[in-house]
Amino acid sequence: MKYVMAVIKPFKLDEVREALIAIGASGLTVSEVRGFGRQKGHTEIYRGAEYEVSFLPKIKVEVAVPDELAERTVEAIQKAAATGQIGDGKIFVYELSEAIRIRTGETGSEAL
Amino acid sequence: MKYVMAVIKPFKLDEVREALIAIGASGLTVSEVRGFGRQKGHTEIYRGAEYEVSFLPKIKVEVAVPDELAERTVEAIQKAAATGQIGDGKIFVYELSEAIRIRTGETGSEAL
Amino acid sequence: MKYVMAVIKPFKLDEVREALIAIGASGLTVSEVRGFGRQKGHTEIYRGAEYEVSFLPKIKVEVAVPDELAERTVEAIQKAAATGQIGDGKIFVYELSEAIRIRTGETGSEAL
Amino acid sequence: MNGITNRMSRVLPALGWAGVLLAAAPAFAADEPKLDSGDTAWMLTSTALVLMMTIPGLALFYGGMVRKKNVLATVMQSLAITALVTLIWTVVGYSLAFTEGGSLLGGMGGFMLAGMTLSTTHSLAPTIPESVFVCFQMTFAIITPALIVGSMAERMKFSALLWFTGLWSILVYSPVAHWVWGGGFLGSAGVLDFAGGTVVHINAGIAGLVAALMLGKRIGYRKENLSPHNVTYTVVGAALLWVGWFGFNAGSAGAANGRAGMAMAVTQIATAAALMGWMFAEWLVNKKPSVLGAASGAVAGLVAITPASGYVGPGGAIIIGIAAGVVCFWAASWLKRAAGYDDSLDAFGVHAVGGIVGALLTGVFAVEAIGGTGGLLEGNAGQVMKQAYGVIVTLLYSGVASWIILFVLKATIGIRVEETQEREGLDISLHGESVV
Amino acid sequence: MNGITNRMSRVLPALGWAGVLLAAAPAFAADEPKLDSGDTAWMLTSTALVLMMTIPGLALFYGGMVRKKNVLATVMQSLAITALVTLIWTVVGYSLAFTEGGSLLGGMGGFMLAGMTLSTTHSLAPTIPESVFVCFQMTFAIITPALIVGSMAERMKFSALLWFTGLWSILVYSPVAHWVWGGGFLGSAGVLDFAGGTVVHINAGIAGLVAALMLGKRIGYRKENLSPHNVTYTVVGAALLWVGWFGFNAGSAGAANGRAGMAMAVTQIATAAALMGWMFAEWLVNKKPSVLGAASGAVAGLVAITPASGYVGPGGAIIIGIAAGVVCFWAASWLKRAAGYDDSLDAFGVHAVGGIVGALLTGVFAVEAIGGTGGLLEGNAGQVMKQAYGVIVTLLYSGVASWIILFVLKATIGIRVEETQEREGLDISLHGESVV
Amino acid sequence: MNGITNRMSRVLPALGWAGVLLAAAPAFAADEPKLDSGDTAWMLTSTALVLMMTIPGLALFYGGMVRKKNVLATVMQSLAITALVTLIWTVVGYSLAFTEGGSLLGGMGGFMLAGMTLSTTHSLAPTIPESVFVCFQMTFAIITPALIVGSMAERMKFSALLWFTGLWSILVYSPVAHWVWGGGFLGSAGVLDFAGGTVVHINAGIAGLVAALMLGKRIGYRKENLSPHNVTYTVVGAALLWVGWFGFNAGSAGAANGRAGMAMAVTQIATAAALMGWMFAEWLVNKKPSVLGAASGAVAGLVAITPASGYVGPGGAIIIGIAAGVVCFWAASWLKRAAGYDDSLDAFGVHAVGGIVGALLTGVFAVEAIGGTGGLLEGNAGQVMKQAYGVIVTLLYSGVASWIILFVLKATIGIRVEETQEREGLDISLHGESVV
Ligand SMILES: Nc1ncnc2c1ncn2[C@@H]1O[C@H](COP(=O)(O)OP(=O)(O)O)[C@@H](O)[C@H]1O
Ligand SMILES: Nc1ncnc2c1ncn2[C@@H]1O[C@H](COP(=O)(O)OP(=O)(O)O)[C@@H](O)[C@H]1O
Ligand SMILES: Nc1ncnc2c1ncn2[C@@H]1O[C@H](COP(=O)(O)OP(=O)(O)O)[C@@H](O)[C@H]1O
């Protein structure tokens, strides 16, 4: 199994979710993160003093998939999340040693 | 070493923490996430318009353990977090290449 | 490639970011987490009743780096995040199977 | 001395000088005081201030104290009660409390505010339009059941709350208001309650305790972290209660006169003393002065000075304040823990306990030169007994009647949400909304 | 009966008895009523209350309804409009609306408040200083454009908003206020509008609809979750609007008298009824009573009773309230969806629709004994027609004039932010700030 | 002209016509003005409004500007100061400021408000009960030290704050209030300060600067992000300050009369102008108009018009407002950066600087027909010098006395929290609570 983790632009979440469902992912987990990268942050102004906010709001999407689905998952995310502009984010893929469904105790791909 | 990551129902956090302490885990890290899966979200109502909130609040629990503790960790979480109802969540296990305690620089299992 | 993940004290974030930039990391992703470990939580008082808040606010820093940079990354974080006091946090290192830049589709080290 | 003469005496200082002015205008019948624009201005303002106490004051005070998943449901309670009681008061509540009737209940002569015109007045406030008196008293009728929900927070069914509020307003609030202010037997017995220590606070507080017992404890009580999600809201709420309470207490003079001024002064002083009392008691006991404690102390002081304002001076106010702060701190921390009920936001611990402290000490510190009746310190030892009589009657009646109403509701539509609803939070489960 | 006599009649009850007092003071010319400290006290207070409606009331009401990334930009709109309209009103607005002129527009005699001294008064409120009348009316001039931004939320350019507000205040608000209150043709035609159902709410609501159409829908409308980020703010805002509305409606009596009291009473009653109406309608239709719905219902009731307060009694108020609650619920949910415009925060659905309900029903329920003019129920069938006339004139004029102003702005500086700014949120993109 | 006659002149317009009325009532001694219910109504209301400025107004204004970990500690400061100063004012503060004494300090005749009854009045406000005058002035005594904490935010020890407040209130506030208003040497010298530009704002602002210097900079100043965590709170706070300021300035007339109305009008106008001034200055300099800037500009305008209200007309108000907005923007951004002190929330930059702008310009724009004294523009060039004299005396005395108090506290109990407490946040470390 593979664990696919993507950092994307917040407003792309709905599209990514739909793309993942379309290819058969059974679930996903998302969280709010802040990212620093090529895309520059903005300047906030505070009582006349400028302050560089270096981190931008991003959404992290995590989805565990069987090995055979991994490639399609990455493709689906990439297509759905891309705007072509700097700051679109990254996709990272890891090996997943084991997965367990808490409710039933099922393991492996069945647990996903 | 293994890195065990679980997505659980928020109100189960205290029980999971206690279960982990009981089996000897020395620490854990939690964060608030939102999950999408078999468990359906609820409908929010906004000025007469229904809006499907597809993501449900979940808690992500992360705990790094020595290999020998991995199985018991998974069991402990599964037992503590299960309600038997849909949406109980998942446990994912990865290989951990290295762990370092920032304060002392210790590495490996000693760092946990 | 390696995926380095660190749990640090919140007020150390700026120093860690600067240290990572200094060694050539091209980006990083951070999120707010709560940690439980050797460092004890504080007691909150609620209408005369004491309540133990076991989790402390921490920042999780994630940075994907080419293998050759992994060691320096860990060192940089450790040096920047250490105060020498309990609760300084941990650094975890995993294998990263693949990385993709969403905007361009580049993969591997080039995507970082 | 009955309730009416009692209250009438409040406007006498005004009449004193207004009367002279009027004497110069022979077109007026001497025995029929006329509308005074200054008194009317102050009572219009007071009405706005007391409404502000419930929404947004109490809504925020309580809303900040619950967990984030219940904040909207909590503010919704204040909002819906405001609307519901407004209608009930208009239709029957005012009539039952304040129109001619027996010593137990008023009549139905004011059904749907019948007979109220631009120029009618009420004998308790003869220099302002009756419409203003109706609205001013309405705001008291609103806040009283809104206070009760503090004991029911985080687990009460919304539909049951509406039924409870409606029935309680008619069956408990209107009668008790009539007994004390509307010409009923407590006022006649000489019980002093300037602005509602008995009618509002003890009444609401004991109903809250009964409700807390009938509902049972929240899931996770004493195990999970049930602490307030946003004490800033609670402080803002307490502050708005404080400011609005000037309308509550000084407005209860029914006029813009010296007694209103004195009521405002002692309100401010007692509140400050109670805040300090609670804060230092907590600092001593728990090592840290909590912000929630300071806000709660202020409210405890406001509650305790409510019956006494209009009767006591600055010295009495300081002592009443300190006593209320310390005793309510004890009630909300030690007593609640010892007795084991889950009075979520301490409606009983602050309002009933603070109200009792205030009602009894009114009997001690009342000054004849201020309110026409002296207390224990001025040699009128019997007043404390009269005050105790008022307290006991209210505790008993409100306690039993609230129990009956809740019992019936529990047996029919149920009063507590499902376990899964409680876990998910009332915001989403009852109202389909959540705060980001 | 023209607008002035119409309004003058409001202060007559006060003059009734004040006049007698004054009669005893021969130093006064009988035909020149003098300052009354009670009336002045109430109007000073009312001014503060109506200002509070816009800041912080409306700022919070709207701020809570937008997404978190736009909350500061939204409260900024209320704040900046308050400042801008204050200056415009001082320089020309008051003069155009309330000084001597024609039936279409006032004159320039009050440019920069020329001629206002400590002792001048305005004929519409002859017992209070002119400075207080100017300020009171200023708060109405402020809130009207501030209401419009509800339709523009989350996508309007800030610079364009300032231009729009300035132009609209001079070209639309001042004329319409003059027509109805300042001696213009609508008042002369017998249109009843006690506190601004037409001048304020219909006027703002229709301008909002035009703006929503000119701006186009928000990105993600009907696809992404655009739901309110913090309904607690919205409830607090609605509560402050409610409390402040006592100044709006009862203050429109211009004095602290029986008519002010009656206006306050019917305001409270109609608001409660409308909250209940919207809540139960929504409960029935959507299975859950939302907190946003209750707050919106209250505002709908406040809007609808605005023209009627000062003319109707408690019975009429209940019916007006229920009608407003149900109809505005329908407008904000069904009508908006059906017509397909993106009136972000329902400025049209609540203010125009609620204002029309209120304006028409004023013609039905007006009571001669209260406001000097009877309605349909008292046999004066023509009043409903007069009310409809006022509604239609306002809808047409404000709709067209708002369209022209926005058209010109769109063609010159542009009215909508860039797509990336909208996505990033207006807080950061327009003001360089964000809420943590 | 001394302070008393000075202030007395404010009530003269009221007396003008009230006097005539009274003349018709021969039962009254002509030389003893009696309670007026309208004036009393307005002063009761003003007291509530000014209390609302501190809690919740200032609490939110400041609370929104700190980081999230310090919000509760910050609102707690306003709350605790309100309580503490209430008690101090009751016991000695009022007496030292406003009862008969020398030109440097009042007497102890009013210790514990001795002698205050339902019918006593104070010579500065002879038509309202003394109790109301005491409370009104109390709210000024409360807000002044509460303003200072803006300079101490995020690092002051709570226990030290209480000591500082108590000592400062007695040793600095009461004397300065006596000098200007209570019959002391500044009032006698002809210094004009209608509502407290000197007594409240310059006094608090300079004390804040001293405190900022004594405390030192916050950890991370100029390195970490110390920006406001919730500007929405700050806007709500500013709005409540604005609304409440009507009580502050128009209430300082001591009556509901033409001068109160004029004070309200110029307050509104100057505030609007200052908001615009700051906003456009910032827009120009920083390319974006921040919401914090608009809110700060409004407060700067309110501060600057405080001494001038009651003396100037609309024209002067606009210029005072614009000047205050621009100069305070400069002080809070450029001056603070250049001088290098960490005045966390700009108590000095807004209150001292704005207060000085207002005090001096009062000397320029004062209109004899409004306040009895003309300024530079009416040929009274000396008035600007008198104003400067008042400013300098206050800066010197308050600066030195504040320094001494803080020096003693620093040497004994310490004034700054531990480094770990500061990093963890004052909410948890001082009060054991946190906002979710
Ligand atoms: N090496 C990295 N490790 C972890 N996260 C990264 C890394 N580089 C970038 N990111 C994340 O990806 C986001 C987008 O990266 P950025 O460099 O701004 O744009 P792009 O990927 O289009 O070149 C960043 O905000 C950050 O959250
Ligand atoms: N393939 C997946 N990858 C990542 N997270 C998942 C995946 N499937 C489920 N989850 C997480 O687990 C939670 C519970 O899953 P769900 O399907 O609702 O219930 P159950 O696990 O009981 O079948 C989801 O809300 C989501 O956070
Ligand atoms: N085994 C673990 N797995 C995951 N996170 C851990 C683990 N142990 C500690 N942590 C994280 O590291 C933080 C610091 O750990 P702690 O034991 O308090 O201090 P130290 O690392 O200095 O001994 C914890 O708050 C927690 O977030």
What is residue C50's predicted lDDT score, i.e. its pLDDT? 67
- Verify whether the Cβ–Cβ distance E55 to F24 is below 8 Å: no
Give the DSSP H/E element, type plus range, for residue F203: helix F203-215
How high is the ipTM of this complex? 0.94
- The neighbours of chain B, by the rule of 3 or more Cβ pairs under 8 Å, are A, C, D, E
% chain E with pLDDT above 90? 90
What is residue D33's predicted lDDT score, i.e. its pLDDT? 64
Pick among B9, B14, B18 to test the D interface (most D CBs inside 10 A): B14
Which residues in chain C touch residue B27, judged by CB atoms under 8 angstroms apart?
35-38, 90
Residue A24 Cβ contacting ligand 2 at under 6 Å:
no
Distance from C-alpha of C15 to C-alpha of C76, rounded to nearest angstrom: 10
What is residue B44's predicted lDDT score, i.e. its pLDDT? 73
pLDDT at A46 over 90: no
The residues, ordered by sequence, that sit 6+ positions from D149 with a Cβ below 8 Å of its Cβ are D62, D74, D77, D78, D81, D156, D161, D347
Q: Chains C, F in contact: 3+ Cβ pairs under 8 A? A: yes
What is residue F2's predicted lDDT score, i.e. its pLDDT? 33
Distance from C-alpha of D272 to C-alpha of F400, rounded to nearest angstrom: 29
Which residues in chain F touch residue A48, judged by CB atoms under 8 angstroms apart?
282, 285-286, 329, 332-334, 336-337
Cite the DSSP H helix spans in B49-108: 67-81
Q: What is the DSSP secondary-structure string of F32-63?
A: S----HHHHHHHHHHHHHHHHIIIIIIHHHHH
**Which residue's CA is the nearest one to ligand 2's atom 9?**
A27
- Chain D residue with the nearest C-alpha to that of E292: D433
Interface of B with A in 13-42 (CB under 8 A): 31-38
Q: Chains A, E in contact: 3+ Cβ pairs under 8 A? A: yes
Identity of the residue numbered C39? Q
In the numeric block, the tokens 């990439």 are attached to: A78
Give the DSSP H/E element, type plus range, for residue F409: helix F382-412
Q: Give, as one character, the DSSP assignment of residue E65.
A: T
What is residue E16's predicted lDDT score, i.e. its pLDDT? 33
Measured in angstroms, the CA of B50 and the nearest CA of chain E are apart by 8
What is residue E287's predicted lDDT score, i.e. its pLDDT? 92
Q: How far is CA F405 from the centre of its chain?
A: 20
Give the DSSP H/E element, type plus range, for residue C5: strand C2-8
Q: Give, as one character, the DSSP assignment of residue F254.
A: S
What is residue F225's predicted lDDT score, i.e. its pLDDT? 85
Question: Which ligand has the minimum distance to the alpha carbon of residue C29?
Answer: 1
Q: Give, as one character, the DSSP assignment of residue B110.
A: G
pLDDT per residue as tens digits for the range A52-93: 778 899 999 999 999 999 999 999 999 999 999 999 999 999
Q: How far is CA A21 from the centre of its chain?
A: 14
Separation of F106 CA from ligand 2 center, angstroms? 74
CB of C52 within 8 Å of any CB in chain B? no
Residue C62 Cβ contacting ligand 1 at under 6 Å:
yes
Which residues in chain E touch residue D82, judged by CB atoms under 8 angstroms apart?
272, 275
Percent composition of chain E: helix, strand, coil (DSSP 3-state, to 5):
70, 0, 25
pLDDT per residue as tens digits for the range E195-231: 999 999 999 999 999 999 999 999 989 888 899 999 9
Residue B56 Cβ contacting ligand 2 at under 6 Å:
yes
Residue A109 Cβ contacting ligand 1 at under 6 Å:
no
Measured in angstroms, the CA of F119 and the nearest CA of chain D are apart by 6
Residue A81 Cβ contacting ligand 1 at under 6 Å:
no
Which of the residues in chain D have pLDDT under 70? Answer: 1-33
Separation of B85 CA from ligand 2 center, angstroms? 12
Most confident segment among B46-50, D33-37, E121-125: E121-125
Which residues in chain C touch residue A37, judged by CB atoms under 8 angstroms apart?
26-28
pLDDT at E308 over 90: yes
**Which residue's CA is the nearest one to ligand 1's atom 7?**
C27
Separation of B31 CA from ligand 2 center, angstroms? 16
8 A C-beta contact, residue E392 and residue E179: no
Please, what sign has the CA dihedral across residues E407, E409, E414, E416?
negative
- Domain locations in chain D as residue ranges: 37-431
Q: What is the pLDDT along chain F (436 residues), one digit of tens a residue?
A: 233 333 333 333 333 333 333 333 333 334 456 899 999 999 999 999 999 999 999 999 999 999 999 999 999 999 999 999 999 999 999 999 999 999 999 999 999 999 999 999 999 999 999 999 999 999 999 999 999 999 999 999 999 999 999 999 999 999 999 999 999 999 999 999 999 999 999 999 999 999 999 999 999 888 888 999 999 999 999 999 999 999 999 999 999 999 999 999 999 999 999 999 999 999 999 999 999 999 999 999 999 999 999 999 999 999 999 999 999 999 999 999 999 999 999 999 999 999 999 999 999 999 999 999 999 999 999 999 999 999 999 999 999 999 999 999 999 999 999 999 999 999 999 999 999 8
User: According to CATH, what is the number of the domain F37-431?
Assistant: 1.10.3430.10
- Chain F residue with the nearest C-alpha to that of D128: F37
pLDDT at A43 over 80: no
Distance from C-alpha of E278 to C-alpha of A36, rounded to nearest angstrom: 47
Angstrom CA distances, E63 to E147, E149, F95, F294, stand at: 12, 11, 45, 16
Distance from C-alpha of E10 to C-alpha of E192, rounded to nearest angstrom: 12
Residue B87 Cβ contacting ligand 2 at under 6 Å:
yes
What is residue E66's predicted lDDT score, i.e. its pLDDT? 97
Q: Which of C2, C28, C65, C93 to mutate to test the pocket of ligand 1 (most atoms within 8 A of CB)?
A: C28
Global confidence as pTM: 0.94
8 A C-beta contact, residue E310 and residue E262: yes
8 A C-beta contact, residue D104 and residue D175: yes
Measured in angstroms, the CA of E159 and the nearest CA of chain B are apart by 29
Quote the tokens at residue A44: 């906030």
Task: Report the nearest atom of ligand 2 relative to the CA of A111.
Answer: 21
In the numeric block, the tokens 């060691």 are attached to: C71
Measured in angstroms, the CA of F80 and the nearest CA of chain D are apart by 7
Q: Are strands B28-36 and A28-36 parallel, antiparallel or unpaired?
A: antiparallel
Which residues does ligand 3 sit against, CB inside 6 Å? B 25-29, 62-64, 101, 103, 112; C 7, 35-39, 56, 58, 86-90
How would residue B112 be classed by pLDDT, with cut points 50, 70 and 90? confident
Pick among D28, D227, D291, D333 to test the F interface (most F CBs inside 10 A): D291
Separation of F412 CA from ligand 2 center, angstroms? 59
Q: Which of A110, A89, A101, A94 is nearest to A33 (CA)?
A: A89
Distance from C-alpha of F198 to C-alpha of A49, rounded to nearest angstrom: 29
Among E36, E229, E250, select the one facing D44 at the smallest CB separation: E250
Neighbouring-strand partners of residue D306: none
What is residue F436's predicted lDDT score, i.e. its pLDDT? 82
- Chain F residue with the nearest C-alpha to that of D67: F436
What is residue D22's predicted lDDT score, i.e. its pLDDT? 35
- The neighbours of chain E, by the rule of 3 or more Cβ pairs under 8 Å, are A, B, D, F
Question: Which ligand has the minimum distance to the alpha carbon of residue C58?
Answer: 3
Among E25, E48, E90, select the one facing F20 at the smallest CB separation: E25
Which residues in chain A touch residue B15, judged by CB atoms under 8 angstroms apart?
none
Which residues in chain F touch residue A44, judged by CB atoms under 8 angstroms apart?
227
Neighbouring-strand partners of residue A8: A59
Structural domains of chain B in order of their starting residue, each with its CATH number: 2-111 (3.30.70.120)
Mean confidence (pLDDT) of chain E: 92
The count of residues in chain F is 436
Where residue C48 falls (left for φ over 0; alpha for ψ -120 to 50; beta otherwise) is left
- Chain F residue with the nearest C-alpha to that of E256: F38
Q: Which of F234, F323, F231, F312 is nearest to F271 (CA)?
A: F323
